[in-house]
């Protein structure tokens, strides 16, 4: 990533320089055109070449900048698996690529000299390399090769077996082995920052309309359970007053004054209301 950062800086400065140089060349061409009223020959090839280089560098800058997103996401162990896998198997892959390049170039030279005068795709060495790479991916014209040389079916079969089956499978085996080792190591590794997990959980919660447990205010029932009271203790006098009013209306015909203890004693004892109501209660129960 340090090399990528350095390349990005150098390419950015070079692109800025090419932009101003392109503007200068364009201004010079416009000045010549205005002075001669379009009657003189104006060279635009330099400006065109600079503009092409400018566009290519812009594409390279965008490529490196987008790749740097992988570096920004490396705090999550799932996003870092690609870089860790390539790092783990890079030594074995480097030796494999050397062997693969030698074998592949040998076949390219073989097909180049065999079909040099018969097929247009093999008329140049670069074209032969491109065609062999397409053949390895399964894109080829077998009938034209068969008509050009009688040995082409046998050579094509050998090329397909060695490159498409053996070498490609060896490369995949190296990568998959490194990936399996990295996957086992990541199972015991924690994320540096759980930003992605938080973003994913927030997105899922927003999409599914789940209530936010953090913002909910739950009633605290610990004190009430400890005191053995289900209701509010401040409501107890009001409940008692309502009970006494109900007793006065039901059993004493509204003559019982719950606010005076002496009046209650007289009503329940001396005046005989207690006995009367007791008889009434017993008679109602029977």
Nearest to 145 by CA among 106, 110, 95: 110
pLDDT in tens, 184-208: 877 776 655 455 566 667 777 777 7
Terminal CA-to-CA distance of the chain, rounded, Å?
97
pLDDT band at 278 (very low <50, low <70, confident <90, very high): very low
Q: What is the pLDDT of residue 268?
A: 58
Q: Is the pLDDT of residue 28 over 50?
A: yes
Question: What is the torsion angle, in degrees rounded to the nearest 10, for the CA atoms of residue 30, residue 35, residue 37 and residue 43?
Answer: -50
Distance CA 96, CA 174 (A): 9
- Of residues 162 and 81, the one with the higher pLDDT is 162
The answer to whether 256 touches 267, Cβ cutoff 8 Å, is yes
Averaging pLDDT over each range in 69-78, 139-148, 189-198, 261-270, which range is the top one? 139-148
User: In percent, how much of the chain has pLDDT > 70?
Assistant: 68
Cα 218 from chain centroid (whole Å)? 34
Q: What is the pLDDT of residue 285?
A: 44
pLDDT band at 78 (very low <50, low <70, confident <90, very high): low
Angle at 69 between CA 65 and CA 71, to 5 degrees: 110
4-27 burial code (b ≥16 CB/10 A, e <16): eeeebeebbeebeebeeebeebee
pLDDT mean over 104-116:
87
pLDDT band at 27 (very low <50, low <70, confident <90, very high): confident
Token digits for 192? Answer: 């540096």
Distance CA 48, CA 1 (A): 33
pLDDT mean over 1-5:
75
Distance CA 30, CA 33 (A): 5
Q: Mean pLDDT of all residues in the chain?
A: 75
Q: Is the pLDDT of residue 218 over 80?
A: no
DSSP state at residue 79 = T
Nearest to 79 by CA among 165, 236, 191: 191
Cα 111 from chain centroid (whole Å)? 45
Q: Is the pLDDT of residue 85 over 80?
A: yes
Query: Between the CA of residue 211 and those of 180, 201, 202, 221, what are the distances in Å?
Result: 39, 13, 11, 21
Give residues with Cβ within 8 angstroms of 276, minimum separation 6. Answer: none
Q: What is the pLDDT of residue 267?
A: 59
Distance CA 137, CA 226 (A): 76
Residue for token pair 């592949």: 104
Q: How many residues does the chain have?
A: 286
Distance CA 199, CA 191 (A): 14
């Amino acid at each position: 990533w340090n090399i990528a950062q350095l390349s990005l800086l150098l390419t950015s400065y070079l692109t800025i320089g090419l932009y101003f140089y392109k503007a200068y060349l364009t201004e010079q061409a416009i000045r010549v055109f205005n002075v001669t009223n379009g009657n003189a020959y104006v060279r635009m090839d330099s400006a065109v070449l600079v503009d092409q280089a400018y566009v290519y560098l812009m594409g390279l800058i965008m490529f490196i900048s987008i790749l740097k997103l992988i570096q920004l996401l490396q705090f999550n162990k799932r996003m870092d698996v690609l870089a860790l896998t390539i790092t783990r198997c890079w030594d074995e892959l480097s030796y494999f690529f050397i062997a693969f390049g030698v074998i592949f170039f040998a076949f390219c030279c073989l097909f180049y000299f065999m079909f040099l005068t018969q097929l247009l795709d093999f008329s140049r060495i670069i074209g032969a390399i491109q065609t062999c790479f397409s053949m390895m991916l399964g894109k080829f014209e077998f009938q034209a090769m068969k008509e050009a040389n009688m040995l082409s079916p046998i050579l094509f079969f050998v090329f397909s077996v060695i490159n498409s089956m053996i070498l490609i499978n060896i490369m995949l085996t190296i990568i998959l082995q490194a990936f399996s080792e990295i996957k086992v190591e990541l199972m015991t590794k924690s994320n540096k920052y759980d930003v992605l997990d938080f973003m994913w959980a927030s997105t899922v919660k927003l999409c599914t309309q789940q209530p936010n447990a953090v913002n909910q205010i739950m009633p605290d029932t610990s004190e009430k359970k400890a005191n053995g009271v289900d209701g509010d203790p401040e409501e107890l006098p009001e409940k008692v007053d309502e009970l006494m009013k109900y007793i006065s209306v039901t059993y004493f015909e509204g003559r019982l004054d719950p606010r005076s203890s002496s009046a209650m004693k007289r009503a329940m004892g001396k005046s005989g209301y207690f006995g009367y109501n007791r008889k009434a209660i017993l008679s109602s129960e029977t």
